[in-house]
Structure 1
Amino acid sequence: MLTSFMESFLCCLTSKSANIVVPVETSEPADGHEFVEVKPGRVLRVRHIIPDRSVVEEYTGQGGSISCKRKITVYRNGQLFIENLDDRASTELKNHPNGETQSNSNVEVDLTDCDNSSPPAPAAGQTNQSQQPRRRRRKPKRTVVIDCERKISSCKGTHTDVALFFIHGVGGSLDIWGSQLDFFSRLGYEVIAPDLAGHGASSAPQIAAAYTFYALAEDMRLIFKRYARKRNILIGHSYGVSFCTFLAHEYPEQIHKMVMINGGGPTALEPSLCSIFNLPTCVLYCLSPLLAWSFLKAGFAKQGTKEKQLLKQNNAFNVSSFVLRAMMSGQYWPEGDEIYHAELTVPILLVHGMHDKFVPVEEDQRMAEILLLAFLKLLEDGSHMVMMECPKAVNTLLHEFFLWEPAIPPLPKKESKTRPETAKAQSDNNKASSEPDKVRPATARQTSSNDGAE
Structure 2
Amino acid sequence: MHGFPEFSYGWRKQMPFFAAQGYYVWAPDSRGHNLSDKPRGAAAYTLDKLAADVVGLIDAAGVERADVVGHDWGGAVAWKLGADHADRLRKLVVLNAPYSGVMLRKLRQDPAQRKRSWYMFYFQLPWLPECTSRRNDWQMLTNMLRRSSLPGTFSDEEIAEYKRAWSLPGAYTGMLGWYRAMRYGMGRGKQEASGGPRTAPVQPPTLLLWGAQDRFLGRELAQESIAKCANGRLEFLEDATHWLHHERPEQVNQRILAFLTQPA
Identify the TM-score tier after normalising by the shorter chain. 0.7 to 0.9
Structure 2 match to 1:340:
199
Secondary structure at the counterpart of residue 82 of structure 2: helix
- Structure 1 position 368, deviation (Å): 2.1
Alignment of 1:226-375 (within 5 A): 226-265=60-99, 267=101, 275-282=121-128, 284-288=130-134, 289-302=138-151, 304=152, 306-313=154-161, 318=166, 320-331=171-182, 332-333=184-185, 334-335=187-188, 339-340=198-199, 343-375=201-233
- After TM superposition, the structure 1 = structure 2 runs for residues 34-433 of structure 1, keeping only pairs within 5 Å, are 167-265=1-99, 267=101, 275-282=121-128, 284-288=130-134, 289-302=138-151, 304=152, 306-313=154-161, 318=166, 320-331=171-182, 332-333=184-185, 334-335=187-188, 339-340=198-199, 343-405=201-263
2:62 and 2:164 map into 1 onto residues whose CA distance is 26
CA distance in 2, matches of 1:217, 1:182: 25
Taking only aligned residues, the RMSD between alpha carbons, in angstroms, comes to 3.0
Question: More deviation in 267-276 or 195-204?
Answer: 267-276
CA-CA distance at 1:236 after TM superposition = 0.8
Deviation readout 1:8-57 (Å, 9 max, x if unpaired): xxxxxxxxxxxxxxxxxxxxxxxxxxxxxxxxxxxxxxxxxxxxxxxxxx
Give the residue type in structure 2 aligned to 1:379. Answer: L
Q: Secondary structure at the match of 2:87?
A: coil
Residue number in structure 1 paired with 2:111: none
* C-alpha spacing 1:204/1:400, structure 2 compared with 1 (3 Å): same
**TM-score calculated relative to the size of structure 1:** 0.47
Structure of larger gyration radius: 1
CA distance in 2, matches of 1:368, 1:202: 31
TM-score by length of 2: 0.77
Retained in 2: the 8 A contact 1:354–1:381? yes
Aligned-residue offset at 1:212: 3.1
User: Following TM superposition, by how much is the alpha carbon of 1:199 offset from its aligned partner in structure 2, in angstroms?
Assistant: 0.6
> How much has 1:388 moved relative to structure 2?
1.4
For 1:327, the aligned partner's letter is W
Given residue 258 of structure 2, which amino acid in structure 1 is its aligned partner? E
Question: Deviation per CA, 1:245-302, whole angstroms, max 9, x where unpaired?
Answer: 2223443233111001001245267699982224341553234334314422454122
Question: Aligned letter for 1:374?
Answer: G
Hey, what's the Cα distance between the residues in 1 that align with 2:231 and 2:174? 35
Q: Is the 8 A contact 1:212 1:330 kept in 2?
A: yes
Contact 1:258/1:348, CA 8 A, preserved across alignment: yes
What SS is found at the alignment partner of 1:193? coil
Q: Any stretches of 5+ residues in structure 2 without a counterpart?
A: 109-113
Identify which range, 371-380 or 223-232, moves more after superposition.
Answer: 223-232
Letter in 1 for 2:75: V
Instruction: Give the whole-Å Cα distance in 2 for the aligned partners of 1:345 and 1:269.
Output: 19
**C-alpha contact (below 8 Å) 1:230/1:254 kept by paired residues:** yes
SS state of the match for residue 198, structure 2?
Answer: helix
Report how many residues are paired: 238
Alpha-carbon separation, structure 2, partners of 1:352 and 1:308: 26
Q: CA deviation at 1:178?
A: 1.4
Larger mean Cα displacement after TM superposition, 329-338 or 353-362: 329-338
Work out the percentage of aligned pairs sharing the same amino acid. Answer: 24
Where do 5+ consecutive residues of structure 1 fail to align? 1-166, 407-454
Find the aligned partners of 1:314 and 1:290 in 2 and give their Cα distance: 12
Is contact 1:211-1:327 (8 Å) kept?
Answer: yes
Letter in 1 for 2:211: G
Amino acid at match of 2:144: F
CA gap of 1:321–1:231, structure 2 versus 1, over 3 A, is closer
Distance in 2 (alpha carbons) for counterparts of 1:210 and 1:371: 28
Q: Report 1 or 2 for greater relative contact order, CA contacts < 8 Å, sequence distance ≥ 6.
A: 2
CA contact (8 A) 1:197 1:203 kept: yes
